[in-house]
Structure 1
Amino acid sequence: MTWGWRKILALRDLLRPYMWKSIGNGNNTNVWSDTWCTACPIRAYVSPRTIANAGFNLQATVAELVDSNGHWRWPVAWFDLFPVLINIHAPVLHEAQDRLVWINSEGKAVHFSSWEVWNNIRHRENIVDWFNMVWFKQCIPRHSFNLWLVIRNKLKTQNRLTIWEAGSAMNLNLMCCPLCNHGKDSRDHLFFECFYSSEVWDSIKDMAGMGEVNGRWTDIMQWMTENSNMQQPANVTSRLVVSAASYFVWQERNARLFSRNQRTAMILVQDIINIVRMRLMTLKFKLGFLNRRFLEKWKIPARNLVIDPG
Structure 2
Amino acid sequence: MVHIWNLFAKAGSIWVVWVETVWLRGKSFWQVPIPQNSSWSWRKILKLRLLARPFLSFKIGTGSRIFMWYDSWHPAGCLIEKYGLRTTYDAGHNIGPMLSSIIKNGEWHWKSARSERLVEIQCRLPDISIGNKDTPIRKSSTAIPRHSFILWLAFRDGLTTKYRMSLWGYTGSMIVELLILLSPGMMWLTGLKGG
TM-score range, shorter chain: 0.3 to 0.5
Q: TM-score, normalised by structure 2?
A: 0.45
Q: TM-score, normalised by structure 1?
A: 0.30
